[in-house]
Amino acid sequence: MDDPDDTRRTGSVNGRPDSVNLSRFTDTAVVDRPGVVERTGATDRTGGADRTGGADPAAPSGAPDPAAAARPAGAPEPTGTPDPASAPPLGLPGEVLDRLAGGAHHDPHGVLGAHPTRGWTLIRALRPDATAVTVLVDGTRHPMTRLQSGGIFAVAVPGGIPDYRFEVTYPDSTHVVDDPYQHLPTLGEIDLHLIGEGRHERLWHVLGAHVRRLDRGPGGGAGTVAGVSFAVWAPNARGVRVVGDFDFWDGRGFPMRSLGSSGVWELFVPGIGAGTRYKYEILGSDGVWRQKADPLAFATEQPPATASVVHESSYTWDDAAWLERRASIPWHAAPVSIYEVHLASWRRGLSYLELAEQLVEYVRENGFTHVEMLPVAEHPFGGSWGYQVTSYYAPTSRFGSPDEFRHLVDALHAAGIGVIVDWVPAHFPRDAFALGRFDGTPLYEHPDPRRGEQPDWGTYVFDFGRSEVRNFLVANALYWLEEFHVDGLRVDAVASMLYLDYSRPSGEWVPNAHGGRENLEAVSLLQEVNATVYRRVPGAMMIAEESTAWPGVTRPTHLGGLGFGFKWNMGWMHDTLDYSSRAPLFRTYHHHQMTFSLMYAFSENFVLPFSHDEVVHGKGSLLRKMPGDRRAQLANLRALYGYMWAHPGKQLLFMGCEFAQDNEWSEATSLDWHLLGEAGHGGVARLVRDLNHTYREIPALWERDSDPSGFSWIDASDAENNVFAFVRWGEDGERALACVTNFAGVGQVGYRLGFPFPGRWREVLNTDALDYGGGGMGNLGGITAVADPSHGLPASAALSLPPLGTVWFVHEPADGGPAGDGPSADGQADNELTAGEPADGARSDPEA
Residue 115 has pLDDT above 80, yes or no: yes
Q: With pLDDT > 70 as the criterion, what percentage of the chain qualifies?
A: 85
What would the pLDDT profile of 362-406 be if each residue is shown by its tens digit? 999 999 999 999 999 999 999 999 999 999 999 999 999 999 999
Tell me the CATH number for domain 386-567.
3.20.20.80
Residue 324 has pLDDT above 50, yes or no: yes
**Across 293-318, average pLDDT:** 98
**What's the confidence (pLDDT) of residue 713?**
98
Domains of the chain, by residue range, sit at 89-177, 189-310, 386-567, 571-811
**What's the confidence (pLDDT) of residue 68?**
40
Q: With pLDDT > 90 as the criterion, what percentage of the chain qualifies?
A: 81
**Long-range contact set of residues 551-556: C-beta below 8 Å, sequence gap at least 24:** 553/494, 553/604, 554/604, 554/605
**What's the confidence (pLDDT) of residue 84?**
72
pLDDT bucket at 57, cuts 50 / 70 / 90 = very low
**Across 507-525, average pLDDT:** 95
Say if 89-177 and 189-310 have the same CATH topology.
Answer: yes
Question: What span, in angstroms and rounded, lies between the C-alpha atoms of 417 and 463?
Answer: 35
- Radius of gyration of the chain measured on its C-alpha atoms: 34
Calculated CA dihedral for residues 563, 566, 570, 571, nearest 10 degrees: 80
**What's the confidence (pLDDT) of residue 91?**
83
End-to-end Cα spacing for the chain = 60
pLDDT bucket at 92, cuts 50 / 70 / 90 = confident
* Stronger pLDDT, 86 or 588, i.e. the higher one: 588
**Across 585-610, average pLDDT:** 97
- Span 571-811 CATH architecture: Sandwich (2.60)
pTM (predicted TM-score): 0.86
pLDDT bucket at 90, cuts 50 / 70 / 90 = confident
Residue 209 has pLDDT above 90, yes or no: yes
| Residues acting as catalytic residues | 492, 545
Q: What superfamily would CATH give domain 189-310?
A: Immunoglobulins (2.60.40.10)
Residue 72 has pLDDT above 70, yes or no: no
Average pLDDT, the chain: 88
With beta carbons less than 8 A apart as the criterion, state whether 412 and 361 touch. Answer: no
Question: What span, in angstroms and rounded, lies between the C-alpha atoms of 270 and 550?
Answer: 52
Of 644, 654, 633, the C-alpha closest to 581 is 633
**What's the confidence (pLDDT) of residue 733?**
66
**What's the confidence (pLDDT) of residue 749?**
97
Domain 89-177 has CATH 2.60.40.10: yes
Residue 824 has pLDDT above 90, yes or no: no
Residue 638 has pLDDT above 50, yes or no: yes
What would the pLDDT profile of 32-52 be if each residue is shown by its tens digit? 333 333 333 333 333 333 334
**Across 229-249, average pLDDT:** 97
Question: What span, in angstroms and rounded, lies between the C-alpha atoms of 683 and 637?
Answer: 11
Strand 257-258, strand 264-270: pairing: antiparallel
